Structure 1
Amino acid sequence: MNLTDLLATIDGGLIVSCQAGHGHPLRDTATMCRLAEAAVLGGATAVRCGGVGGLADVRAVAAAVTVPVIGLTKRGAAGVFITPTVADALQVLAAGAAVVATDATARPRPDGAALRDTIEAVHDAGGIVMADVSTLAEGVAAATAGADLVATTLSGYTPYSPGTDEPDIALVRHLVADLPGLPIVAEGRYSRPEYVRQALDAGARAVVVGTAITDPVWITRGFAAATDRAAARS
């Protein structure tokens, strides 16, 4: 799939992230596949997957769904851990992802390579790169390095980006203004449908939603917090 075809598929739409971490009841590749299939049935235009499930999740989901897969791996839990190396990126692509998502923050990468090295390697192998950033400066740097799309995934998850319970729609707006023509994807804490609408109105080409759709633990806690039992404990 080329970038033009990808954008025609996801433009103005919803991307659903199907991931579950170690110890989560849904941490199972077959379960991730069923979540992805359900998301597509519900209207997802693409699926983001991999995470700690790594290449097994990417392979299985890519084989199960008819929409593009944005693949990644996660190694570790600090610093650059989303598809952190050139080798990781190439393995994600080989597993069937149309797009490779990678940390594009200013932090050092564990293999010592530059972000540009990962982007060029994926391009040489025929793939597309989504750069996950936390600030405007990182988005500009990712664009300069050749990223095909920039996503706000890591805003609030680096010590120098604003921490908030709400999505960073301001970052979407700034990236759209400073990087005209580069597709910007909104991601991170999009927990309500109205946030999705706000991001699209701010110029995002698509919005990624994960936890609010695919994590029943998180969803249940929200409802449980409104019950008499929760009120009695407070």
Structure 2
Amino acid sequence: MQQDSVRRFSYRAENYDKFRPNYPEALIDFLQASIPIQANHVIADIAAGTGIFTEQVAAWGNLVYVVEPNPYMRQIAIRRLAGFERCIFQDGTAESTGLPDHSVDVIVSAQAFHWFDPVKAKAEFRRVGRNAPQVAIVWNLRNTDSPFEVEYERFIRTYAVDYLNVSQRKMSTEDVLSFFAPVIPVYRVFGHVDFLTYEQLRGRTLSYSFMPDESSPILPEVLASLTALFDAHQESGEVRLSYKTRLFVGTI
């Protein structure tokens, strides 16, 4: 992970933790069953952020290494996961986790793989994994189906700094498949829907690394546009934002 990809979340960590979506329980159940997760499996969540996905995985009761390079996000993850005694927090990246050789059975990464150097990350995963570790890569991908979702995507493209260079949309399915090659991973898509108040939509929008942050001089213009968009599409004080949650799982 390049240093800029780490630093750019420092002032977004609180919004990220409060307002980013979690992941469908159907996906969590499918992942647990398809690996299948055993009680003695050690899991590493790579680029765990504030621990949103980690929290759902840690509920299985396994030992989990929570690897996150950004100190602000890692501290929030420590707070979020305080109730899970088997979480061990590690300052590290996908390319240099700091974990011992052959120490984990399952590696997961949610909403982060597009930041990785895939060649270096694969070498690192093989180093820390044992017995051909299982790897699960997950993304929540916003839909652009409804009138609000179409307009929200247009709003993001209007104000985003480097959206198509850094968002997950830059990475094709073929890019992910090449990471697992020659193994063909299992691929599944799960539906996920959120209903957001204006405060929640504002927080989620400001959590995106490619959007102007709260110090930006154009923030008033961005928020005025977002308010108008929300007001035009809200029903009973909420807008509907849906996702395709993509899962790739296989051995490396």
Interval containing the TM-score (normalised by the shorter chain): 0.3 to 0.5
Q: Which has the higher contact order (CA 8 A, sep 6+)?
A: 2
Determine which structure has more spread, i.e. the larger CA radius of gyration: 2
TM-score by length of 1: 0.32
Q: Which has the higher strand share?
A: 2
